[in-house]
Amino acid sequence: MTTPARTRLEPHDRRAQIIEAVRPLYLQHPYDAVSTAELAAAAGVTRGLINHYFGSKRELFVEVMRSTIRMPEDELPDLSALPLEDRACRTMDWILRAAETYGQAWVSVSGAANLHGNSDLQEVVDEADDHAARLTLDALCLPDDPHRRVRVRTLAPLVKAVCREWLERGTLTRDEALDLLTETVLLFATKETP
């Protein structure tokens, strides 16, 4: 193991290293169950440095989330040769596979649970959902005009809820989940836009 002789890193590298070192902690424990002391220890630095680079513990958390809940774009198959119904089914299958194989974090993080509308996390989750909507439209080979994007974007929380019923509660089979999502995405993505 590397002797923790304190080394000096480029700011950019240090930021990245801290984020990576801290990620597993936030994968297992909720935000306020982990202290800055533990975060710093995991990163092999001092508490002060965390505040120096991220301002506050909260901002570090948000930064970790931002890079964790982004739906990965690779392995997205080329479906351009298939009819629309099949493209929809295969696209949803792609999402479900990501959820079950990698336990993709995107499906496990819904919006922030605060009453007052504006949460720092909300905007991060929103961005991730919007990103997922772009990927979906791309896989469906449908043009991505603003109206369509909005509709598909609203499906993100539905996808997460369905995955939760399927994976965590076992109240839906994979086929049922796939079927529901396929029909819904078809409905939402093909409405004519005014």
Partner DNA sequence: CCACATATTGACACTATGCCAATAGGCCGG
Partner DNA sequence: CCGGCCTATTGGCATAGTGTCAATATGTGG
Name the residues that contact its own copies, by CB under 8 A: 26-32, 65, 68-69, 105, 108-117, 119, 121-122, 125, 146, 150-151, 153-158, 160-162, 165, 168, 171-172, 180, 183-184, 187-188, 191
Instruction: List Cβ neighbours of 73 (8 Å cut-off, separation of 6 or more).
Output: 135
Partner in contact with 116, chosen from DNA, its own copies, none, beta carbon below 5 to 8 Å by kind: its own copies
Residue 6 CB, shortest distance to its own copies, in Å, is 30
101, amino acid identity:
T
Quote the distance between the C-alpha of residue 117 and its chain's center.
20
CB atoms within 10 A of CB 180: 17
Q: How many CA atoms lie within 13 A of 75 on its CB side?
A: 10
Contacts with DNA by CB under 7 A lie at 5-11, 14, 35-37, 45-49, 51-52, 55-58
Residue 46 CB, shortest distance to DNA, in Å, is 4
Question: Do the Cβ atoms of 106 and 124 come closer than 8 Å?
Answer: no
Three-class DSSP category at 55: coil
Quote the DSSP letter at residue 72.
P
Q: Which is nearer to DNA, 16 or 161 (CB)?
A: 16
Partner in contact with 97, chosen from its own copies, DNA, none, beta carbon below 5 to 8 Å by kind: none
Separation CA 98–CA 158 (nearest Å):
16
Residue 4 CB, shortest distance to its own copies, in Å, is 27
Partner in contact with 52, chosen from DNA, its own copies, none, beta carbon below 5 to 8 Å by kind: DNA
